[in-house]
Every structure is written in C-alpha cells, then in structure tokens.
Amino acid sequence: MAIDADLIAELRDLRDRIRDLETGIPLQNASVSAGRLRFIGGLLRIDSGGRLEVVGSATIDGSTNVTGTFVLTGAGWRIVGSGTIEGPTTVTGTLKVDGDTRITGTLGLEGDIALTGNMGIADGGRFVAGDVVIEEDKVTVGGGDSPATLQDSALSFQTGGRVEADATNAGIRMSVGANKVYVGTGAVAMQLGGRAFIVTATGFTFAGLDTIPKSQTLDANPIGSLYVDPSGKPYRVIAG
C-alpha cells in the first residue's frame, strides 16, 4: 500500500515542530501585541547582565527598592507624593525644587550658594556661622571685646552702648545710659546728663553750661558772654 507523499511531508513537519518545542527555550524571543502578560504571586527576574527597557510609561503600585546605582537622565522626571532617600546621595547638575522643602537634621553645604529669592528663618530656627547667629528679627555677633545684637533697628553692645535711628533729627543716635551723641541732617549734638553741646549751620549752642560771676573773670567779661578760664573750661558769665 503506497503512502501519500503529502502525508509523509506533513508528518515530518509535525515531527520537526515537536522537536523544536522540546529543545527550544520558551520566551527567548517573545512578543505580546495588544495583550497582557501577568505574573500572579511569582517573580520576574532579570539577571546575568540583562536589562529592563521600557519605551513609554511605567506604573509601580507599592514600594520600590533600588540597590546600587540609581541614575535619572533627561528632563521632566518628578516624584509625586511622599518619598524617602536613605544613604549618601549625589546630585550632579542643576537641582530645582518647587514648593516647600523641609530638612530635619544636619545640612552641610560646600561651595558657593546663590540665592535669587528670600531665605526665611521662622519657628525658632537659627542660622549660625561662627560667632554670627541669625534668628527671626534678630542678628547677634559674638567675639571681640563686646558681642553686639541688631534688633528693632538698633545695634546694642554688651557694654551698654547702643546705636539706633534718630527719626526726630533724620539721623542716628549713639547712647550709653543717659549719655548720647546725635548726628542728623541739620544738627550734631553731644549730651552728658544735663549738659549738651549742639552744632548747627547757624552756630553753637551750650546747654547746662556752668556759670561764673563777672567779678571773677580776668577782664570783667560782659554778662551773658562765654568765658574760658586758663584751664580751658568754659563758663557763662553772670552778674556778681
């Protein structure tokens, strides 16, 4: 009985296909078009120098652990929601942070810092640089003979001295207790207790000047004139 040649050919083809299935490596070259590949309770592992490449978008629901080098290249990547980076992290290039940022712990900055906006210090925070402490509405400079504090538009020293704005004379005022020096646009004055020396564009004015009787002056100076004794002390001449 003769066997049909076409049947023999089909049997040989079927044999070869079965051999390929038995000896082949499943998924060595696989393609899923408009379909879905799902692992339930299993593990997808890429090792021995393999690489996972996603052309498009990737969505990860749950935690992601990266061991080794983590590199993000290109523009437009972002982290939405909360995240934690543990261990040393190096950023090369420009890092732009939009929105509120809070750092808890020690922040070390090396190199130049350029600010194009405001740097706020609030909630009891402080900026310390050596002997300089910057707090909310207050700057303290230590070291030297007397630490100084700048607060409320006045510079105060631990010795008791104070330099502040003098709105009355449109200038500045230096004081130690009741003793003051005024420098304004129209006058300069020095005051010690009840004594004062004032200089204006029109002349000199003395306040609290000691007096001396006319009879005690060397040349019988006129009453109301200014008399300076041999030691250099000035007096206002009065009757007597």
Terminal Cα-to-Cα distance of the chain (whole angstroms): 169
Residue 30 belongs to some domain of the structure: no
Please tell me whether residues 141 and 173 are part of one structural domain: no
Residue 110 belongs to some domain of the structure: no
- Euclidean distance between CA atoms 85 and 67, whole angstroms: 12
Residue 58 belongs to some domain of the structure: no
Instruction: List the Cα angle 188/204/183 in 5-degree steps.
Output: 0
The pLDDT of residue 172 is 94
Comparing 152 with 5, which gets the higher pLDDT? 152
- Tens digits of per-residue pLDDT, 115-133? 787 777 777 788 888 889 9
**What is the total count of domains within the chain?**
3
Which residue bears the tokens 């969505």? 59
Residue 17 belongs to some domain of the structure: no
Enter the tokens of residue 104. 């808890």
Label residue 148 by pLDDT band (50, 70, 90): very high
Tell me the sheet residues that pair with 211: 236
Q: 189 burial class (0-12, 13-18, 19+ CB within 10 angstroms)? A: buried
What's phi and psi for 5, nearest 5 deg? -65, -35
- Euclidean distance between CA atoms 113 and 127, whole angstroms: 14
- Tens digits of per-residue pLDDT, 22-39? 777 777 777 878 888 888
Please tell me whether residues 201 and 216 are part of one structural domain: no
What mean pLDDT is predicted for residues 146-165? 90
- Tens digits of per-residue pLDDT, 180-239? 999 998 899 999 988 999 999 999 888 999 999 998 888 888 998 889 988 999 999 999
Residue 185 belongs to some domain of the structure: yes
Residue 2 above 70 pLDDT?
Answer: no
Q: Is-contact 210 233, C-beta < 8 A? A: yes
Residue 114 belongs to some domain of the structure: no
Query: In Å, how far are 88, 99, 109, 115, 180 from 112, measured between CA atoms?
Result: 21, 22, 8, 10, 42
What is the distance, to the nearest Å, from the Cα of residue 148 to the centroid of all Cα atoms in its chain? Answer: 22
Please report the beta strands in 72-169, taking only residues with DSSP state E, as ranges in sequence order.
126-129, 132-135, 138-141, 148-151, 154-157, 161-166
pTM: 0.49
The pLDDT of residue 149 is 93
126-163: b (≥16 Cβ within 10 Å) or e: eeeeeeebbbeeeebbeeeeeebbeeeeebbbeeeebb
Residue 78 belongs to some domain of the structure: no
Task: Compute and round to an integer the Cα radius of gyration of the chain.
Answer: 45
What domain range includes position 237? 209-240
Number of C-beta neighbours around residue 235 at 10 A = 19
Enter the tokens of residue 210. 């000691």
Of 136, 168, 176, 141, nearest in space to 152 by CA: 136
